[in-house]
Amino acid sequence: MTTIADRLKLAQCRIAQAEQEHHRPAQSVNLLAVSKTKPLSDIIQAYQAGQRRFGENYVQEGQQKIIDLAQDYPDIEWHFIGPLQSNKTRIIAEHFHWLHTLGREKIAQRLHQQRPQDKPPLNVCIQVNISGEDSKAGVTLAEVPALANIIHSLPKLKLRGIMAIPSQQANFDNAGQAQAQLSKEFSQLKACFDTLKQTYPQLDTLSMGMSDDLSLAIAHGSTLVRIGSAIFGAR
């Protein structure tokens, strides 16, 4: 039977392999362990195996986990990667270290107002709707610079980069087509990130790539891959 520690190690190996294969510096890609719906005991197992970055999708569930683990595991870095409605921004501002899914000015303003004075700025990524599907959150590529400009003007937010969830591979007729579409989307995201970096040189995070497309995302410059079920098992 494989354990969470085994699967975590395997995920790290896959990242290291992809870095090598695609001529990326070693350890230039971070692993975000997506622990949504999983119990505290799973997070603790991953922690004990060395993992420190965890991603959550649901506001209340994430808040509760952060509160429960704060005392004994104060060095966990909590990333919110789910959809965020404006009436839930306070919880994110007060508890999380990172938000990957910032897609609206109004949300940015609220997070800035609600971020406690005694905490460092909230790290944020702009979510880009790269697939153009109506069901997906995020701004278009063309809208990124304007939102970046707003975020940059809010001192309690720290713009770190961009994030995207690409087209689902299952939506394509064959693997070749899916691969071509994914490559195109990842390239567009990388180009957007590089352009944005010319204005904001401190940007360091291109959050793209999940279990199935990790290697392709790393080939295209991802700096952070988000992996859940491959570490914690099916949900």
Ligand X SMILES: *Cc1c(COP(=O)(O)O)cnc(C)c1O
The two beta strands, 77-80 and 98-102, are parallel
Residue 4 CB, nearest distance to ligand X (Å)? 13
Which residues contact ligand X by CB under 6 A? 34, 36, 57, 81, 165, 210-211, 226-230
- Name 63's Cβ contacts closer than 8 Å, sequence gap at least 6: 91, 95
Place of tokens 């961009």: 162
State which residue, 34 or 154, has the beta carbon closest to ligand X: 34
Residue 107 CB, nearest distance to ligand X (Å)? 16
Paired residues of 32 in beta bridges: 226
State which residue, 62 or 228, has the beta carbon closest to ligand X: 228
Residue 220 CB, nearest distance to ligand X (Å)? 16
Burial of 105 from C-beta contacts in 10 A (0-12 / 13-18 / 19+): middle
Tell me the CA distances in angstroms from 213 to 75, 151, 186, 226, one per residue in order: 29, 29, 10, 10
State which residue, 34 or 203, has the beta carbon closest to ligand X: 34
How many whole angstroms separate alpha carbon 186 and alpha carbon 164?
9
Residue 51 CB, nearest distance to ligand X (Å)? 14
Residue 198 CB, nearest distance to ligand X (Å)? 27
State which residue, 154 or 163, has the beta carbon closest to ligand X: 163
State which residue, 104 or 152, has the beta carbon closest to ligand X: 104
Quick one: which of 40, 197, 71, 187 has its CA closest to 126?
197
With CB atoms as reference, the residue minimizing the distance to ligand X is 228
How many whole angstroms separate alpha carbon 13 and alpha carbon 17?
6
